[in-house]
Structure 1
Amino acid sequence: MDNFRIAKDTLGEVKVPKEAYYGAQTQRAVENFPISGIRLPFSFIKAQAIIKKSAAFANKECKALDDKKANAIMTAADEIINGEMRDQFVVDAYQAGAGTSQNMNMNEVLASRASELLGGEKADYSLIHPNDDVNMSQSTNDTIPTAIQISIAMELQATLYPALSRLIQVLKKKEIQFHEIIKAGRTHLQDAVPIRLGSEFKGYRGTLESVERTLKHSETFLYELGLGGNAVGTGINAHPDYAELAIKQIAQTTDLPFTQSKNTYAFMQNTNAAIRVSGHLKELAIHLIKISSDLRLLSSGPRTGFAEIMLPAVQPGSSIMPGKINPVILENLYMICSQVIGNDACVSTAAIGSQLEINAMMPVIGFNVLQSIKILSNGITIFTEKCLKDITANEENIQNWLEQSLSLVTALNPHIGYEKAAAVAKESFETGKTLKEVLESKKILSREEIDRILDPNSMI
């Protein structure tokens, strides 16, 4: 019993670890939801603390909250924003609907710490009350979706956008580096007309630039916050000026352009902004899988595959085959992107759970979008720095495959017609002769014409 204290809530008494800043409602959630051991990430906790600090400021300005209490709550919130007391946020990511447990976890920790700052003891709710003071003018129903949008916006700016920008920059360098190298194109995994190796990387760059634009457009929806809607969007128990003051404070604290939602009812009924962002993260993952799959194929071998590019070796590839090197960074990226696609499926399913005035499945939506941003950011950075930037071209193999490609015959169409060209290609394939050798043996064109027409440079 020495390691515990007795905490009370409206349901009665609960044993809480003695040193914990949280109280009875958080402890009940810990006991009710021992699901995964996974917590909502610090970015979400930080967003919650920003909301509580901004709410205390607004309530103070509206004369609804005593200056001393407001200042203590704001100081305690700053400590959490700066990374302190992370171990006090103990509710599982898979928790009670809407995130009430998560909201109360924050309320109880702030109330306890603010009470200490005023000279009291932990959980001395006579000084600072988690509901009456810390949660003043708020509800789980407006603070949790607000925290989701704030944390997603902060993480996009801090982690994903820099990683994606660097990836696009390195792809541009590869595009230039490989510009002069002409190789066999392939469609349907069959021979196709020539293409520059640099042009393949140009395609990757353009695709990711397009996704980056759409992702940044979806981000704009994150900046409309329905804080102040309170329980169902009506703003019950909140001062008329509270929402505007609190959201301005959030914008100032984050240095991001948050504004007041024009329709708090729509904000609280649906997690539209998070759904949009999740969808574009999935789109990014799909394209990254395509790029990683291409690079694995182009580097396959080194003796029995395409082997047109060479990846940097980062670790041994086999526990039994000496000297084997696998494309582990690309495989890692594929797995990450698979998880992101799965996360979006979870977000979509949870979003369907919205009923009437609230979506009760918000915690899992926030968790999955934030996880997608984190693992994509890290995966992209590792891919860029440990793989992409050090890819080199195997020009000997590229030239060999180019010379053997039957699709060079396409250039003959305007000169000898499709059917004759097809016959030449067929004979080349059946006899193992090159296209040039078949054309010379049949005296269809002069040597000079053959060299000029089948010059890969003329085809790109």
Structure 2
Amino acid sequence: MDHASHRYENVAKLYQSSGDRTEKDLLGEKQVPHTAYYGIQTLRALENFDISGITLNFYPDVIRGFAKVKKAAALANNDLQNIPDNVCASICQACDEITMGMLHNHFIVDMIQGGAGTSTNMNANEVIANRALEIMGYQRGEYAYCHPNNHVNCSQSTNDAYPTAMKVALLDANDELIQVVQQLIVAFDDKAHAFADILKMGRTQLQDAVPMTMGQSFKAFASSLRNEVERLKISALSFHKVNMGGTAIGTGLNANAKYRERVIQHLSRVTGREITLAEDLIEATHDTGAFVMYSSALKQLAVKLSKICNDLRLLSSGPRAGLNEINLPPMQPGSSIMPGKVNPVIPEVVNQIAYKVIGNDLTITHAAEAGQLELNVMEPVMIESVFESLEILKNGMQSLAERCVEGITVNEEVCESYVKNSIGIVTALNPYLGYEICTMLAKEALENNRSVYDLVLEKELMSKVALDDALAPENMVNS
């Protein structure tokens, strides 16, 4: 038995009941588990696309996005008398239930698939149709009363419904991501306040530079992420513009001329967002630039997070033979052979998340470039990649905030000793002694392993009062 058949049998067992129902399509007939809300085209996709093991129900926002689009389409079609009132009401109720989280386990198609998303669209059409049939008092599969294509997919093609649903889903997912970023910003802001008066050495090129406060370091982390929130918001704006009503290639074939305006109005109400129609539906049907731009924003966020985690790992290195300026909360034993070792596992996993997001961005870029003529059939791998990036970024940042940043402490004595013994503090004496004398002091301190502070007093270049004033934290550090 091949892997796809084995997976099909497992799904069938999940929904086994007293019998199956027979459904047919262009290619023939299949037995569908009687208790399944999906239908024959979903089963075919299950057999054909046993690819990643990541199915639609891994990402609830994707399913909710489809439910909202199908509800808006049903309302628009009812306005235009394309579907009767009772069918429209039942479809809308089914969509509302799915939006609330019901029936998600029946969305079983692999995220990566051929057909430009047709299998995903049909999975949604079939589940909604069969639930609508139940609401109307019919049996699942009695498609004469509510058909996946004729009713749920009325006035639509996968080529407009799929990208529109994904954009709606990404608007919701972006809001969730921003909430997690802001949680991490708060964690860094709290530490910036707590560490505001702790002096430490700043470093450039991994070498001692000039003094700063630990609070300034953590404030910079927060500011860096705050910038990314704005970038995410701006990048997501393009998701408000959709090609709904363009049907197959943007010409609107099989859709009433008034349908476009109606479906956009209903979709705006259903989603609570200002959804607009693209100016050129033919261009919008094959263009995937919105996904490329948003993925770029996710990549930049990932790069910022990785840099921050690199810094946290460096600052906490040691504890005896590293910088040891901060302590990360211990999460687990760090070695199977070295007793007492504790590793910075949370920053490490966020680093790895960043590498994955960067790779996903490359996948999305190549998939966008692969579009041909009137459609880009590579959208499924783009959608899978962008949602994977979103999910792992959310999970990683939440762990970073709760299991790392919130528990960080500072080794104040270590920080103070680095400042006092650093050659870098000589920079603060430039305005008092001049560059040439400061260079001489730095050289002598370095060659003889002496303190700049001690050398200045020894050579009577400044009084102790004047020196202490010049090296006071408030004079060396501008917040």
For 1:94, the aligned partner's letter is: I
Counterpart check, 1:235 vs 2:252:
yes
Q: Give the whole-Å Cα distance in 2 for the aligned partners of 1:241 and 1:194.
A: 67
Deviations for 1:186-243, whole angstroms, at most 9, x for unmatched residues?
0000000111111111211221111111211111111112111111111111122222
Q: Give the whole-Å Cα distance in 2 for the aligned partners of 1:20 and 1:171.
A: 48
- CA deviation after TM superposition for structure 1 residue 136, in Å: 0.5
SS of the residue corresponding to residue 355 of structure 1 reads coil
Which of 21, 24, 28 aligns to 1:8? It is 24
Query: TM-score, normalization: structure 2?
Result: 0.91
* Residue in structure 1 matched with residue 264 of structure 2 by the alignment: 247
For 1:235, the aligned partner's letter is: G
* Residue in structure 1 matched with residue 6 of structure 2 by the alignment: none
* Residue in structure 1 matched with residue 387 of structure 2 by the alignment: 370
* Residue in structure 2 matched with residue 271 of structure 1 by the alignment: 288
Counterpart check, 1:421 vs 2:438:
yes
* Residue in structure 1 matched with residue 89 of structure 2 by the alignment: 71
Which of 13, 16, 29 aligns to 2:45? It is 29
Determine if contact 2:21/2:141 at 8 Å carries over to the other structure. Answer: no
Counterpart check, 1:48 vs 2:75:
no
- CA deviation after TM superposition for structure 1 residue 397, in Å: 0.5
SS of the residue corresponding to residue 16 of structure 1 reads strand
Which of 390, 398, 410 aligns to 2:407? It is 390
Q: Give the whole-Å Cα distance in 2 for the aligned partners of 1:115 and 1:438.
A: 89
SS of the residue corresponding to residue 68 of structure 1 reads helix
Q: Give the whole-Å Cα distance in 1 for the aligned partners of 2:451 and 2:60.
A: 62
- CA deviation after TM superposition for structure 1 residue 442, in Å: 4.1
Determine if contact 1:142/1:227 at 8 Å carries over to the other structure. Answer: yes
- CA deviation after TM superposition for structure 1 residue 44, in Å: 0.6
- CA deviation after TM superposition for structure 1 residue 59, in Å: 0.3
Q: Give the whole-Å Cα distance in 1 for the aligned partners of 2:444 and 2:280.
A: 70
Deviates more, 1:198-207 or 1:14-23: 14-23
Counterpart check, 1:131 vs 2:133:
no
For 1:144, the aligned partner's letter is: Y
Q: Give the whole-Å Cα distance in 1 for the aligned partners of 2:210 and 2:117.
A: 56
* Residue in structure 1 matched with residue 177 of structure 2 by the alignment: 160
Q: Give the whole-Å Cα distance in 1 for the aligned partners of 2:193 and 2:40.
A: 62
Query: TM-score, normalization: structure 1?
Result: 0.94
Deviates more, 1:300-309 or 1:421-430: 421-430
Q: Give the whole-Å Cα distance in 1 for the aligned partners of 2:187 and 2:315.
A: 18
* Residue in structure 2 matched with residue 327 of structure 1 by the alignment: 344
SS of the residue corresponding to residue 186 of structure 1 reads strand
* Residue in structure 2 matched with residue 223 of structure 1 by the alignment: 240
- CA deviation after TM superposition for structure 1 residue 456, in Å: 4.5
For 1:297, the aligned partner's letter is: L
- CA deviation after TM superposition for structure 1 residue 380, in Å: 1.3
For 1:406, the aligned partner's letter is: I
Which of 116, 119, 130 aligns to 2:137? It is 119
Which of 192, 205, 223 aligns to 1:206? It is 223
Between the two proteins, what is the percent identity of the paired residues? 43
Deviations for 1:293-340, whole angstroms, at most 9, x for unmatched residues?
111111112221111112222322223333322222211221222222
Counterpart check, 1:82 vs 2:100:
yes
* Residue in structure 2 matched with residue 290 of structure 1 by the alignment: 307
Determine if contact 1:144/1:362 at 8 Å carries over to the other structure. Answer: no
Q: Give the whole-Å Cα distance in 1 for the aligned partners of 2:112 and 2:220.
A: 40
Deviations for 1:365-420, whole angstroms, at most 9, x for unmatched residues?
11221222222122212211222122122111100111111111113334444343
Q: How many residues align?
A: 459
Determine if contact 1:330/1:383 at 8 Å carries over to the other structure. Answer: yes
Deviations for 1:110-143, whole angstroms, at most 9, x for unmatched residues?
2222223333322222222211111100000001
SS of the residue corresponding to residue 117 of structure 2 reads helix
* Residue in structure 1 matched with residue 8 of structure 2 by the alignment: none
Determine if contact 2:420/2:453 at 8 Å carries over to the other structure. Answer: no
Which of 83, 92, 96 aligns to 2:114? It is 96
Determine if contact 1:97/1:362 at 8 Å carries over to the other structure. Answer: no
Which of 34, 54, 61 aligns to 1:38? It is 54
Determine if contact 1:225/1:267 at 8 Å carries over to the other structure. Answer: yes
Deviates more, 1:335-344 or 1:415-424: 415-424
- CA deviation after TM superposition for structure 1 residue 344, in Å: 1.3
